[in-house]
Amino acid sequence: MMAREQDISETYNPWPKIGWATTAGIVVVSAVLGFGLLDRYQQAGPTLSVWSAICRGLGISSDTESTAEPQPTLRTPTRIAWTNATLDQIKAGDAKHGAFVTLVCTACHGEHGISQSALYPTLAGMDAATVYKQLDDFRSGKRSWGAMNAIAQALSLHDSADAAVYFAAQPDGLPALTGDRAPESGRSLRQSDPAKRLIFAGAPERGIPPCSACHGPGGYKLGAPALQGQQANYIEEQLLAFAQGMRQNDVFEQMRIIARQLTSDEMHAVAAFYAAPVGAPRVVGIPSR
Amino acid sequence: MPQCVQVPVDTPVKFRITSTDVIHGFLLPATNVNTMVVPGFVAEVRTAFSRPGIYEMPCNEFCGYGHHGMLARVKVVPKEQFPSLSPVERTSCAKQ
Amino acid sequence: MKERAVQNSSRLALYHLWIAFGVFLPAVALGAWQMLMRSPLPAPLDDTNAYYTSVTLHGTAMAYAVTTFFAMGFGYAVTATSLGRPVRGIIAAWIGFVICLIGTVMAVVIVLIGRATVLYTFYPPLLASPWYYFGALLLIGGSMIWVVLMIYNMLIWKRDNPGQPVPLAMFAITATAILWAWAASGVIIELLFVLIPQALGITTRIDVGLGRTLFTVTLHAIVYFWLMPAYIAYYTLAPEAAGGRLYSDTAGRLTFIMLLVFSVPVGLHHVFQDPDIGAGFKFLQSFLTFFVALPTLLTVFSICASLEIAGRARGGRGLLGWLWALPWQEPMVLAVALSLVMLGLGGFGGFINMSYAMNQMVHNTTWVTAHFHLIWGGAVVTMYFAIAYEIWPRITGRPLRSKELARWQLWLWFAGMLIVTIPWHITGLMGMPRRVAAFDYGDPFVAPMGPLVIISAIGGLILLVSAILLIAILVRSHFGEGQLQAPLRYAIAVNPPKAIPASLNGFALWNAILLVLMVFAYGYPIGQFLFLKSSVPAYEVTHTATSGAGP
């Protein structure tokens, strides 16, 4: 019988046997090695029992070693955590009621939240979540400044949310942070202007990320205020407060670590760069509203 | 993230790390410390440093526009020096 | 009528390949810019944000668009030429093409305007605009039509030719398609159930571990999806171009079967350093990864043997005399040699990466970037070029105007790729992290890396010149005198198969084995997230005041 006429199903086919035997071998050998043998032997610890080794291999063992080290005291910089409940409360703020609530704010923060004084920050256009958090930090005493603690204590959570949403909606203040920007030359470590270099490229050797990554333009981080168009003196004061440890409401000391490493010249230059006069042409971003 | 952490030389050290935002990387070149820092999980790395000195610790997973600025340091000090450091000093290399 | 059908199949293949190479050139340009940007050299438009956007675009274009369109186009060409008849289901094929094209355009545009800077691996909790995910879904999902058509065409050929061995090229491209279906399942599930619901605001928390683990199903298998067309060229086109025969048809079939079975259940070796997977499963998949090295070793041997047959047939004598006797003026032959060199170097790096312990030294350093650029950008893409040089003349009816120019283009690419990747491997061992836009070269830790990075950047510019040359050659192939080309001929084996076992002629057994291995290797690692309560909020890269998803 010619090989060509032989039905293909009659051709001797050892492959199912070979395939399944190899598969079984692989499964057994790798399971035994990976779960029962190799992970039993620890370089810096006693040999584990088989059951412990299997649990560790699966990834469900708990670390039972306790540290004899003294634990540092827990310091909470803020009461706010960005839970869904908190974010929902902020979003539910009523701007109309906020306009009423914030009438008293204009004394320092200016008409419609656009500050005319070097001492007080512009709040117009500031992200609602940022305003809400700072108000709560003043309320709880995690952040202290003059009359702000008493003012914040007089506001309920609802009022805070209303005020926050009102300020966020005010025009001609800080730009909305969208996280994107049109690319432009001179925004890398090649930049010779120290302020621009810090803002757009940071200082990797000091572990300082670019300011714009959180504060914009071209970056966004929940809770980080937009800085462009802000009062220069206010920015500089806050950087100094972080550096000296006078202000402590930044989570994980992020701002304190950064500010401690900035020279006073750098603080001044960065603040001056960010503070363009309100209404003046700003760095081009991609609008989202 | 502490900007600098001090640990003693020739001592088993365990790093336990997590993230509160996005995925980061934790890399100490020239050592066996190289792990992903994943939110929702705790990464645990054990090592022992055999040489004193300052080790740079870049973030090695893309974490946003500030990724290239995310760098910290591990300072490995002689064994005798370590117990005299206060808990605050152990998480900072700046002169107190 | 048949003439029209054949023409239609050719046009189908050509359009796919044009999209692939059309996207390739700008993507190479982006890559060259990125290399300048991160180096101490001056660079135009040096904005660190732009770097990350560029990496996303470069990755998306190269890893998803170029490769998928190339595989699809090549698949249709192989189907028509190896089976000797037009592709069946051509309307579905065109629909698939359009869907993939729409998806590609969506993804490219949304990344360009800065709303999806999440890199082509888009690891959550970083979150892009939903348009990006929909674009990726259309591109990857649309290619499933191609998968079905490959299987369908092979099955009806078998029905029409009972008892006959499926031609090796067709068998292999169908294996490629099936592999792609398995591989894509991970990212498709991740897109549908983890990322898109979060991007649309339907869910407010995201399980990062689940997203990453699902993605690893795709992450390694996809590189074999990219690799297999190159291997098909090794086995079926190279021996013919060299004037010889394929050493072993069975070795070829076994190679593609092993690639299918072993490249999918090994994805965890990309996340050895992750805290969300148990060490036992990482070891297990590391063990399995050794088996996926086997088909490559088999291939290198078979192809060298096939080339030796060709060399000796042309009069080569002595232990290595057959090497010089090979027809090096053929772009395909030159490409195979250059590709095998890069495959060897890159494969060696791969052995390091898959070794659970050694991976600790290189994870997420530039060593990894060097490895996959050398393997894919080097070994595989060189074969894509060679395949293009074979296919274009056959479809357009116009020969390559100059084989010498094609050889120059291949040599330039080879040199450029080595200049790019060798320093990268070294900086990786020095601890340079990857995906970083800017380095302070004044920092004493980083300073020694500077010269190496400059060398790499120069290599990048060489690659750009080579890519421009490639497009020029292909475009010129559309003009000039038409000459009837000999149809694409596939290599004949030394012992052509007359009757082969059913398991070497179909995939039922191998799919079953793969299913068992997937359950074993991935069942618990994915299933564990159903009871681990590890969801966290997502972080959008672009914030809109009205966006409701997450913080």
Cis-peptide into A70, omega within 30 deg: no
Please tell me the distance in Å from A209's CA to the nearest CA on chain B. Answer: 4
Output the domain CATH number for residue C263: 1.20.210.10
- Sorted by where each begins, the domain ranges of chain B are 4-90
Residue B85: predicted pLDDT: 85
Output the domain CATH number for residue A254: 1.10.760.10
Residue A62: predicted pLDDT: 67
CA C210 to CA C207: how far, in whole Å? Answer: 5
Residue A68: predicted pLDDT: 63
Q: Residue A225 belongs to what domain range? A: 174-289
- Is residue C547 a part of any domain in this protein? no
The 10s digit of each residue's pLDDT in C180-229 is: 999 999 999 999 999 999 999 898 899 999 999 999 999 999 999 999 99
Residues 395-454 of C with CB under 8 A from A: 437-440, 442-443
Q: Does A94 touch chain C (CB under 8 A)?
A: no
* Count of domains observed in chain C: 1
Exactly one of C401, C435, C441, C539 is catalytic; name it. Answer: C435
Chain C residues close to B39, C-beta within 8 Å: 125, 208, 536
Residue C100: predicted pLDDT: 98
The mean pLDDT value for C303-307 works out to: 95
Lowest mean pLDDT among A80-84, A127-131, C27-31, C209-213: A80-84
The mean pLDDT value for A9-26 works out to: 90
Determine how β-strand B53-58 pairs with β-strand B71-77. antiparallel
- Is residue A146 a part of any domain in this protein? yes
Q: Does A37 touch chain C (CB under 8 A)?
A: no
Q: What's the Cα-to-Cα distance from C401 to each of A270, C39, C242, C381, rounded to whole Å? A: 59, 38, 20, 21
Domain boundary among A143, A169, A195: A169
Residue C269, pLDDT above cutoff 50: yes
Q: Across chain B, what does the average pLDDT equal?
A: 89
Which DSSP string do the residues of C436-470 spell out, in sequence order?
Answer: -S---TTSTTTGGGHHHHHHHHHHHHHHHHHHHHH
The 10s digit of each residue's pLDDT in C45-100 is: 999 999 999 999 999 999 999 999 999 999 999 999 999 899 999 999 999 999 99
For residue C435, indicate whether it is catalytic: yes
Residue A285: predicted pLDDT: 39
- Kindly determine whether residue C365 and residue B27, on different chains, have CB atoms separated by under 8 Å: yes
CB distance A212 to B65 below 8 Å: yes
The mean pLDDT value for C280-286 works out to: 93
| Greater model confidence, A212 or A42 | A212
Chain B residues close to C541, C-beta within 8 Å: 64
CB distance A132 to A190 below 8 Å: no
- Is residue A162 a part of any domain in this protein? yes
- Is residue C545 a part of any domain in this protein? no
The 10s digit of each residue's pLDDT in C478-487 is: 887 777 777 8
The 10s digit of each residue's pLDDT in C324-351 is: 999 999 999 999 999 999 999 999 999 9
Chain B residues close to C117, C-beta within 8 Å: 65
Chains that touch A (3 or more CB pairs under 8 A): B, C
Residue C547: predicted pLDDT: 41
Same structural domain for residues A163 and A200? no
CB distance C206 to C535 below 8 Å: yes
Domain boundary among A147, A169, A191: A169
Helix (H) or strand (E) holding B76: strand B71-77
- Is residue A178 a part of any domain in this protein? yes
Residues 463-522 of C with CB under 8 A from A: 498-505, 509-510, 513, 516-517, 520
ipTM of the complex: 0.93
- Kindly determine whether residue B38 and residue C208, on different chains, have CB atoms separated by under 8 Å: yes
Helix (H) or strand (E) holding B24: strand B24-28
Q: Which amino acid is at C354?
A: M
Strand residue runs (E) in chain A: none
- How far from the centroid of its chain's Cα atoms is residue C441's Cα? 33
Local confidence band at A63 (pLDDT 50, 70, 90 cut-offs): low
Local confidence band at A248 (pLDDT 50, 70, 90 cut-offs): very high
Same structural domain for residues A129 and A188? no
Residue C545, pLDDT above cutoff 80: no
Instruction: Report the Cα–Cα distance between both ends of chain B, in Å, rounded.
Output: 19
Q: Per CATH, is B4-90 categorized as 2.60.40.420?
A: yes
CA C497 to CA C343: how far, in whole Å? Answer: 29
Which DSSP string do the residues of A216-280 spell out, in sequence order?
Answer: SSS---TTPPP-TTS-HHHHHHHHHHHHHTS---SGGGHHHHHHHTS-HHHHHHHHHHH-PPTTS
CA C225 to CA A174: how far, in whole Å? Answer: 49
Residue A284: predicted pLDDT: 41
C149: tokens are 């058509």
Mutate to test the interface with B, among C435, C449, C529, C533 (most CBs of B within 10 A): C435
Closest residue on chain A to B21 (Cα): A221
- Is residue A7 a part of any domain in this protein? no
Percent of residues, chain A, with pLDDT higher than 70: 88
Residue B96, pLDDT above cutoff 50: no
C459: tokens are 């290599």
Determine how β-strand C126-127 pairs with β-strand C539-540. parallel
Q: Across chain C, what does the average pLDDT equal?
A: 93
Closest residue on chain C to A81 (Cα): C551
Instruction: Report the Cα–Cα distance between both ends of chain C, in Å, rounded.
Output: 60
Residue C394: predicted pLDDT: 86
C542: tokens are 């672009």
The 10s digit of each residue's pLDDT in A137-180 is: 999 999 999 899 999 999 999 999 999 999 999 998 898 888 88
- Is residue A26 a part of any domain in this protein? no
Chain C residues close to A286, C-beta within 8 Å: 113-114
- Is residue A22 a part of any domain in this protein? no
Residue C5, pLDDT above cutoff 90: no
Share of chain C residues as helix, strand and coil, in percent rounded to the nearest 5: 70, 0, 25
Residue B95: predicted pLDDT: 52
Residue A286, pLDDT above cutoff 50: no
Chain B residues close to C444, C-beta within 8 Å: none
- Kindly determine whether residue A209 and residue B70, on different chains, have CB atoms separated by under 8 Å: yes
The 10s digit of each residue's pLDDT in C379-388 is: 999 999 999 9
Residue C550, pLDDT above cutoff 70: no
Closest residue on chain A to C447 (Cα): A205
Residue A283, pLDDT above cutoff 70: no
- Closest among C381, C424, C83 to C226, alpha carbons compared: C381
Residue C320, pLDDT above cutoff 70: yes
CA A250 to CA A238: how far, in whole Å? Answer: 11
Residue C488: predicted pLDDT: 83
Size of interface A-C (CB pairs under 8 A): 177
CA-only gyration radius of chain A, Å: 30
Closest residue on chain C to B54 (Cα): C445
A223: tokens are 């809770």
For residue C434, indicate whether it is catalytic: yes
- Kindly determine whether residue B64 and residue C436, on different chains, have CB atoms separated by under 8 Å: no
Same structural domain for residues A184 and A279? yes
- Is residue A12 a part of any domain in this protein? no
Does residue A20 sit in helix, strand or coil? helix
Angle at C342 between CA C337 and CA C346, to 5 degrees: 150
| Greater model confidence, C321 or B88 | C321
The 10s digit of each residue's pLDDT in C108-122 is: 999 999 899 999 999
- Kindly determine whether residue A286 and residue C281, on different chains, have CB atoms separated by under 8 Å: no
* Count of domains observed in chain A: 2
Q: Residue C125 belongs to what domain range? A: 2-540
Residues 184-243 of C with CB under 8 A from B: 207-209, 212
Domain boundary among A109, A143, A169: A169
Same structural domain for residues A288 and A197? yes
Please tell me whether the overall predicted TM-score, pTM, comes out greater than 0.80 for this model: yes
* Residue A54, Cβ density class (10 Å: 0-12 exposed, 13-18 middle, ≥19 buried): buried
Exactly one of C58, C253, C270, C373 is catalytic; name it. Answer: C373
Q: Does B8 touch chain C (CB under 8 A)?
A: no
The 10s digit of each residue's pLDDT in A25-62 is: 999 999 999 998 888 888 777 888 888 889 888 988 76
CA C413 to CA C25: how far, in whole Å? Answer: 13
- Is residue A223 a part of any domain in this protein? yes
Closest residue on chain A to C205 (Cα): A84
